[in-house]
Structure 1
Amino acid sequence: MKEFNEKLARWINATPSKDAGINNIQIPGQVEHLVWQNRSKIPSQYEMDFVQHLIQAFSNDVTQLNDLVSTLNQQGFRNEDGELWTIECFSSEMQRLGY
């Protein structure tokens, strides 16, 4: 099983092809179904750890942004730069990781 959508990785920031449909035509019965349709790369360990900390917070009924940021800091999980979370850096990180 592929860990990410290889075609999506090539499409990000790509210039449009002048030849429509080249290598993208799907033949009925021969379509490759990907588990990770919208993932252009394998998540880093930081991203996987981030997900686990978010799941833990949400499992404890944390639903407000202020509380979520505080919970991440209380859990000891730091942003990728090793700094404490703020609402601003959390929002920026969500935008950055929203690939």
Structure 2
Amino acid sequence: MKQYNEKLARWIYSTPSSDAGINNIQIPGQVEHLVWQNRYKEPSSYEQDFVQHLLQAFSNDVTEINDLVETLNQQGFREESGELWTVENFSTEMQRLGY
């Protein structure tokens, strides 16, 4: 099973064609359905670790952003650059990863 949408990886930074169906003709019964339609790459180990730390926080009923940032810092999980989490950089990271 593919872990990301290869077509999206090639398309994400280019200008889409204005012609319908160019290079994407689907034959009924032969359409490849991808599990990860909106991923343009496989998640990095940092992204996977981030998910695990968020799940741990949520499983402990942490729901407010200030508490979530504090919990990530207490867990020892840092921003990819190694910095402590703040509400601002957490929000920025969520926007970046929300591809």
Aligned residue number for residue 87 of structure 2: 87
How many aligned positions are there? 99
What is the 5 A alignment of 1:2-81?
2-17=2-17, 19-81=19-81
The offset of 1:92, in angstroms, is: 0.4
Q: Matched residues in 1 for 2:74 and 2:47: separation? A: 18
Query: Over residues 43-83 of structure 1, what are the superposed CA-to-partner deviations in whole Å (9 max), with x where a residue is unaligned?
Result: 00000000000000000000000000000000000000101
Query: Over residues 10-46 of structure 1, what are the superposed CA-to-partner deviations in whole Å (9 max), with x where a residue is unaligned?
Result: 1212112254312212111000011111110000000
TM-score, normalised to structure 1's length?
0.95
**Structure 1 gap ranges (5+):** none
**Structure 2 gap ranges (5+):** none
Identity of paired residues, percent?
82
Q: Matched residues in 2 for 1:62 and 1:18: separation? A: 45
Q: Matched residues in 1 for 2:61 and 2:6: separation? A: 36
C-alpha root-mean-square deviation of aligned residues, in Å?
A: 1.0
